[in-house]
Amino acid sequence: MISTNFLVIGSGVAGLTYAVKIAEKFPNKNIIIVTKGDESETNTKYAQGGVAVVLDDKKDSFNKHIKDTLIAGDGLCDESVVEMVVVEGPKRLKELMLWGANFDSDSKGNLDLGKEGGHSEYRVVHHKDITGFEVERALLERIHQLSNITMLHHHFAIDLITNHHLKELKSDSLQCFGAYVFEQKTGKIITIKADSTVLASGGIGHVYGHTTNPIIATGDGIAMAYRAKATIKDMEFVQFHPTAMYRAEEGPSFLISEAVRGFGAYLRNKKGIRFMLNVDERAELASRDIVSQSIDNELKKSGDTHVFLDCTHLDIDAFKKHFPNIYEKCLSLHIDVSKDWIPVVPASHYLCGGIVVDKEGKTSIHNLFACGECTRTGLHGANRLASNSLLEALVYAHNIFKSQCENLPKQLELEIPEWNDKGTSIPKEHVLIQHNLMQLQALMQNYVGIVRGDNRLTKAVLHLGLIYNEIEKLYIDSKIDTTLCELRNMINVAHLIINQSLERTENKGGFLKV
């Protein structure tokens, strides 16, 4: 067993920001970050558009950013949370820049501000079209300078340790005491006892067949919190990004940033018609729930597999300067954006709901905190405004830190049992895991997609039940295996999305039931 003062699960913007702050403030305390892949392999690393913050106080204002966020959230945001996050934004961005993150500036040396769907002003701070890569780089560099942080990469958190594991503990309230972690290289399971645990485990993209997310996004933190009986909400609000590059196979799809539409690109159907003009006065720059639903509608009407993003009328030299990564990626696929339209289709991108936290990042379980994409803070409501996610992670990482400075988690004197895997064996038929994973992703893609219906959702419950039974049995009989655990977590997440979709009776933001 390992003991630590602070355990962080996840090495994206949320986990790293929190860890840097705690480590700097408490040089005599130790912090462990566990992360299941390479330390930089996160949704954060792939963020393109940028961070939404109000900097230009001549044209923009906090009120405008608040209003845009509330409109996108379609009446379901928590207004006091929106205000808090928007107002904190500039301070948190400044801090990130002091830690070494570089963002593009204009000819006058001011930060260059981009625009994305749903934003009434230019306010998206970015590093070309690889903002997340730069943020992750800067944070990891800072982390490596801090000697009281231990980064355990390729370590998979299996489950949170709660009262459930400590039979002798007499307590009415649920508490978290750390996590059981699988060291993938050796196959050992480590018990990490922690005074405080922060879940910063990111999104759920891979529950769907088509996603913009890297393969780490399997909803592990949400599933762990759910099994530990934390409150989970708003899971029906899965956000589909309108413009993932169209590809026939399943798995991660390359994103064509919304900032490209902010730069003036048009959406066209196969006939060349700019269909968004008839849908919303903001046309291609309507919020992404509206754009994704409109594309879905176009595809259902025409039977086509994708629509197109047309950049051919844009200043291509300026395009290359702003979006070098997108330009090169297209070129590598023989798409010359100065002449060719880019085939695009909506793909699962972001989860607006998740583990319920208060403004200090506290979950419903004592000593368990959460920040970043795995949480439901109340900022996004029924649909996240573009580029509000990195912002939310920065603000909530800071809020947990601030709250813990005022109320330092107490050292735990407890005996925690080791992981018990008696009677289990190494799963012999990986094909079973792969087959069920494909079934799950197809089920979610086809029955629980952009537009839902009670009939299809009810069928999804039945199909998911079959997958659940098969995988739960395999899990109980098996030694820990990362792919199997991820699948089990995705099944839990799918269950939450389907059931909360069935419970929702009113269409809001990204949720459309017909």
Q: Binding residues for ligand FAD, per CB under 6 A?
A: 9-15, 34-37, 41-44, 46-50, 131-132, 156-157, 200-203, 212-213, 216, 220-221, 255, 350, 372-373, 387-390, 393
Nearest residue to 216 (alpha-carbon basis) of 184, 193, 194: 184
* Contact flag: residue 295 with ligand SIN (CB under 6 A): no
Nearest residue to 225 (alpha-carbon basis) of 13, 6, 501, 492: 492
User: Min. distance of Cβ 288 from ligand FAD in angstroms?
Assistant: 11
- In this complex, which beta carbon is closest to ligand SIN, that of residue 4 or of residue 387? 387
User: Min. distance of Cβ 188 from ligand SIN in angstroms?
Assistant: 37
* Contact flag: residue 383 with ligand SIN (CB under 6 A): no
34 interface partner picked from ligand FAD, ligand SIN, none, CB below 5 to 8 A per type: ligand FAD
State the distance between the two ends of the chain, measured CA to CA, in whole angstroms.
52
Q: Which of residues 42-61 bind ligand SIN (CB under 6 A)?
A: 48-49
- In this complex, which beta carbon is closest to ligand FAD, that of residue 14 or of residue 174? 14
* Contact flag: residue 253 with ligand SIN (CB under 6 A): no
* Contact flag: residue 259 with ligand SIN (CB under 6 A): yes
Contact with ligand SIN (CB under 6 A) among 44, 269, 375, 389:
389
Residue 412 is classified by DSSP as: P
Q: Are 107 and 98 in contact (CB under 8 A)?
A: no
* Contact flag: residue 492 with ligand SIN (CB under 6 A): no
Q: Which of residues 410-449 bind ligand SIN (CB under 6 A)?
A: none
* Contact flag: residue 387 with ligand SIN (CB under 6 A): yes
Q: Which residue is nearest to ligand SIN (CB)?
A: 49
Q: Which stretch binds ligand SIN (CB under 6 A): 36-44, 94-102, 252-260, 392-400?
A: 252-260
44 interface partner picked from ligand SIN, ligand FAD, none, CB below 5 to 8 A per type: ligand FAD
Q: What is the 3-state secondary structure (H, E, C) of 305-344?
A: CCEEEECCCCCHHHHHHHCHHHHHHHHHCCCCCCCCCEEE
User: Min. distance of Cβ 12 from ligand SIN in angstroms?
Assistant: 13
User: Min. distance of Cβ 216 from ligand FAD in angstroms?
Assistant: 4
Catalytic residue, from 142, 268, 288, 376: name it: 288
| SS3 call for 393 | helix
Count Cβ neighbours within 10 Å for each residue of 426-437 and write b for 16 or more, e otherwise: ebeeeeebeebb
Query: Which x/- pattern over 203-242 shows residues binding ligand SIN (rule: CB under 6 A)?
Result: ----------------------------------------
Q: Are 510 and 117 in contact (CB under 8 A)?
A: no
Q: Are 263 and 128 in contact (CB under 8 A)?
A: no
Nearest residue to 37 (alpha-carbon basis) of 157, 139, 145: 157
- In this complex, which beta carbon is closest to ligand SIN, that of residue 255 or of residue 437? 255
Query: Which amino acid is present at 301?
Result: K
10 Å CB burial of residue 142 (0-12, 13-18, 19+) is buried
Site size toward ligand SIN (CB under 6 A) is 9
Contact with ligand SIN (CB under 6 A) among 68, 258, 289, 298:
258
- In this complex, which beta carbon is closest to ligand FAD, that of residue 214 or of residue 449? 214
Q: H-type helices in 106-207, by residue range?
A: 131-144
Q: Are 216 and 41 in contact (CB under 8 A)?
A: yes
Q: What is the 3-state secondary structure (H, E, C) of 429-494?
A: CHHHHHHHHHHHHHHHHHHCCCEECHHHHHHHHHHHHHHHHHHHHHHHHECCCHHHHHHHHHHHHH
Q: Which stretch of DSSP H or E encloses residue 294? A: helix 288-302
Q: Is 504 a catalytic residue?
A: no
196 interface partner picked from ligand SIN, ligand FAD, none, CB below 5 to 8 A per type: none
User: Min. distance of Cβ 43 from ligand FAD in angstroms?
Assistant: 3
Q: Which residues bind ligand SIN (CB under 6 A)?
A: 48-49, 257-259, 350, 386-387, 389
**Which are the catalytic amino acids?**
288
